């Protein structure tokens, strides 16, 4: 067998472009320089990486809060620290200086009343209100069998309280506040008999048989009628609610308290 050399120049070879394989075509040297400049802007740096992207990241980094930044607390607070971990800030409760009072602290706890509001302030307001409340006057009801019937006094010693006889009854309704009582009365009185004669008039508060708040000696009187006036007196006991005041009388001999236009028994309610 005889081998013969092939003439390569005679082989028909088709032209295949670089674009067909995904490679860019460089037409001339200027085009190559242009592409090199573009690639230069995208060069990677060992520290920042892609130059354009590195600039953007650097801008973000410049605005972040470093973990070395700390949160400090002042008086009344505790906790805080640097930002390398989650931190908690909480109040320091107590009664000493540089501490915070809780809602149930006695220093700020205020009792409230549905009617008067703040209790402490309510007391002060009540004091001021009492200065503007006018005294209230009440007139007694005659205790005779009829409006014109005289009252026969009890017979006994001045301290025989259960033997006194009621001459006037004064009903005091609840004024809605603490109060004191001022009492006075006037009446004609007569004693019988021929021996030494004396009588006593008392003011009793509450029940008729209570110990009198005041007892007045009406002195020796002749058999004829004599007008007598009890001076104005004040019982300084502070009271609340409704009550009753009784004017009662007794004598050592049969005596009579007359009902006439000259009689009266009055009680004044004064705010305490």
pTM score = 0.52
The 8-class DSSP code of residue 241 comes to: S
Residue 62: count other Cβ atoms within 10 Å of its Cβ: 7
Helix (H), strand (E) at residue 44: strand 44-45
In tens, the pLDDT along 109-141 reads 666 666 656 666 777 777 776 666 789 999 999
Which residues of the chain fall short of a pLDDT of 70? 1-53, 57, 109-120, 129-132, 192-196, 219-225, 261
Please enumerate in sequence order all residues whose Cβ is within 8 A of that of 220, keeping only pairs 6 or more positions apart, or say none.
Answer: 196, 197, 198
> What is the C-alpha to C-alpha distance for residues 55 and 48, in angstroms, rounded to an integer?
8
Q: Are 233 and 215 in contact (CB under 8 A)?
A: no
Domain with CATH 2.60.120.1340 in the chain: 136-271
> What is the C-alpha to C-alpha distance for residues 90 and 102, in angstroms, rounded to an integer?
13
* CATH code that applies to domain 136-271: 2.60.120.1340
The reported pLDDT for the residue numbered 2 is 55
The reported pLDDT for the residue numbered 221 is 59
In tens, the pLDDT along 46-71 reads 565 666 667 776 777 777 788 888 88
The reported pLDDT for the residue numbered 210 is 93
> What is the C-alpha to C-alpha distance for residues 217 and 205, in angstroms, rounded to an integer?
19
> What percentage of the chain reaches a pLDDT higher than 90?
28
How far is the CA of 41 from the CAs of 46, 50, 53, 56, 229, in angstroms? Answer: 15, 9, 11, 14, 124
The reported pLDDT for the residue numbered 131 is 65
Q: Are 173 and 136 in contact (CB under 8 A)?
A: no
Distance of CA 131 to the CA centre of its chain: 24
> What is the C-alpha to C-alpha distance for residues 180 and 271, in angstroms, rounded to an integer?
6
The reported pLDDT for the residue numbered 19 is 54
């Amino acid at each position: 067998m005889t081998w013969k050399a092939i003439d390569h120049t005679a082989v028909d070879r088709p032209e295949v472009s670089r674009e067909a394989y995904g490679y860019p075509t460089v037409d001339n040297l200027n085009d190559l320089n242009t592409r090199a400049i573009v690639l230069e802007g995208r060069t990677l740096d060992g520290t920042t990486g892609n130059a354009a992207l590195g600039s953007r990241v650097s801008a973000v980094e410049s605005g972040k809060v470093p973990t070395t930044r700390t949160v400090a607390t002042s008086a009344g607070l505790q906790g805080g620290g640097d930002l390398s971990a989650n931190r908690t800030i909480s109040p320091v409760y107590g009664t000493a200086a540089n501490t915070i009072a809780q809602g149930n602290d006695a220093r700020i706890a205020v009792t409230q009343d549905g009617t008067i509001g703040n209790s402490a302030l309510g007391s002060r307001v009540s004091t001021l209100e009492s200065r503007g409340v006018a005294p209230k006057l009440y007139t007694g009801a005659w205790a005779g069998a009829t409006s014109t019937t005289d009252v026969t006094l009890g017979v006994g010693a001045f301290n025989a309280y259960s033997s006194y006889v009621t001459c006037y009854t004064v009903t005091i309704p609840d004024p809605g506040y603490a109060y004191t009582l001022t009492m006075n009365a006037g009446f004609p009185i007569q004693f019988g008999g021929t021996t030494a004669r004396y009588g006593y008039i008392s003011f009793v508060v509450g029940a008729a048989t209570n110990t009198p708040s005041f007892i007045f000696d009406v002195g020796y009187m002749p058999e004829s009628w004599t007008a007598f006036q009890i001076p104005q007196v004040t019982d300084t006991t502070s009271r609340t609610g409704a009550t009753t005041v009784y004017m009662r009388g007794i004598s050592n001999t049969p005596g009579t308290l007359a009902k006439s236009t000259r009689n009266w028994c009055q009680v004044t309610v004064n705010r305490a």
